[in-house]
Structure 1
Amino acid sequence: MKNKQERTQFIQEAKRQLMKQRMVSTLLYGTSIVLIVANRGAYWPFAVLVVARVLIARVHSQEVNRDMALTPNPTMKRIIQVQYVIDYCFIVLVSLFLPVVLNLSLPFFTSISMYLVLAVGLLMTDSVLERRGKKLDPEYPTKKELRTYPKTWKKLKT
């Protein structure tokens, strides 16, 4: 099995290869949110949102499979899966906040409270899983290590 540095380089290179797909899905997702907010009564912008979500889920699925292949521990594989589900849920939570508040006409304080409770819950669950994963497979890079690793548009050296 690869050591932490090799795994980190492998993941960063794979992320670089998925950059174009990530950008397209993110732009489509942002456009769909703008369309939903701009056309409050219409339902057609939700079709664009569904397409964008499917593209984002596809990219997440590719990343999950890639990351799970880097560890032999079945419990760690499950933690990786759950972390990607949490990441996806957080993306949905953050991006749908404004459209939900505008379209459902909920009281602002209630909306903010629900949003904060969900966001804090997702972040705390993710950090607990991160700590548990670090104990199960110390050679697996954490999210912080992946973020602080030198990022580049150029191909990383292996």
Structure 2
Amino acid sequence: MKNKQERTRFIQEAKRRLMKQRLLSALLYGISIVLVVANRGAYWPFAVLVVALVLIARLHSQEVNRDMALTEHRNMKRIIQVQYVIDYCFIVLVGLFLPVVLNLGLPFFTSIGIYLVLAVALLMTDSILERRGKKLDPEHPTKKELRTYPKTWKKLKT
């Protein structure tokens, strides 16, 4: 198995290779949200939204498989899966807040309250899982370590 530094480099290089796909899926997601908000009565923007969410889910699936291959601990693999599901749910929560409020006609402050409760719950769960994962496999890089690692468009040196 690789040590933490090798795993970090491996994950960062893999993320660099997926950068175009990530940007395109994020752009499609943003455009689909604008379309949903701009065309409240139409259903076709939701098809674009579903396509964007499927693309994002596909990328998350690739990243889950990559990260799970770096650890031998079965419980750590499960934590990695759940963390990516939480990340995906957070993407959906943030992106769909405005369309849901506008299209369903829910009271604004009630919507904000529900949104904040869900966001805090997702963030707390992710934080708890991050701490558990650090205990299970200390050699697996945490999200904070991956964020603070120097990012570049150029190939990372090994």
TM-score in terms of structure 2 length: 0.99
2:127 match: secondary structure: helix
Taking the aligned partners of 1:71 and 1:3, their CA distance within structure 2 comes to 10
Instruction: Name the structure 1 match of 2:52.
Output: 52
Instruction: Name the structure 2 match of 1:157.
Output: 157
2:153 match: secondary structure: coil
**TM-aligned CA deviation for residue 10 of structure 1:** 0.2
Taking the aligned partners of 2:100 and 2:65, their CA distance within structure 1 comes to 32
Q: Give the letter for the 1:36 counterpart.
A: V
After superposition, the C-alpha distances for 1:93-134 in whole angstroms (9 at most, x for unaligned) are 000000001001111110000000000000000000000000
Instruction: Name the structure 2 match of 1:67.
Output: 67
Identity percentage of aligned residues: 87
Q: How many residues align?
A: 158
The question of 1:20 aligning with 2:23 is answered: no
1:42 match: secondary structure: coil
Taking the aligned partners of 1:145 and 1:24, their CA distance within structure 2 comes to 25
After superposition, the C-alpha distances for 1:18-66 in whole angstroms (9 at most, x for unaligned) are 0011011001000000000000111100000000001000000000000
The question of 1:81 aligning with 2:81 is answered: yes
The question of 1:9 aligning with 2:9 is answered: yes
**TM-aligned CA deviation for residue 76 of structure 1:** 0.1
TM-score in terms of structure 1 length: 0.99
Taking the aligned partners of 2:57 and 2:112, their CA distance within structure 1 comes to 26
Instruction: Name the structure 2 match of 1:130.
Output: 130
Instruction: Name the structure 2 match of 1:98.
Output: 98
Consecutive unaligned residues in structure 2, runs of 5 or more:
none
Q: Give the letter for the 1:126 counterpart.
A: D
